[in-house]
Amino acid sequence: MINEKIMVNDVLSSAKSNLTFYANTISECANPTLRSTIQQIRNCDEASQYKLFQMAQAKGYYKPAITAKDDEVQQTKSQLTGQ
């Protein structure tokens, strides 16, 4: 029998894959109505994924990467924005 941790991690993995699919589809969508619809679906799925992530983290099923220091975040932001 599959335990809860495996199921949660599997759903999280699938959700991340779906979000990548939505991003690719949105970036290639020429129809504004369809693009908006897919963005709405993506936003709902992203919110659901985040709630599941929070639950998984609270139960110890998911260990995120070490939090970056403020100076590291600023340095990366500067590199990405060219500032």
Q: What is the pLDDT of residues 1-20, one digit of tens each?
A: 679 999 999 999 999 999 99
Q: What is the per-residue pLDDT for 64?
A: 76
The residue segments making up the domain with residue 33 are 4-81
- Count how many domains the chain has: 1
Residue 70 has pLDDT above 80, yes or no: yes
Q: What is the pLDDT of residues 19-47, one digit of tens each?
A: 999 999 999 999 999 999 999 999 999 99
DSSP string covering 15-63, please? HHHHHHHHHHHHHT---HHHHHHHHHHHHHHHHHHHHHHHHHHHTTS--
Using an 8 Å Cβ cutoff, are 61 and 8 in contact?
A: yes
Q: What is the pLDDT of residues 57-68, one digit of tens each?
A: 999 988 777 888
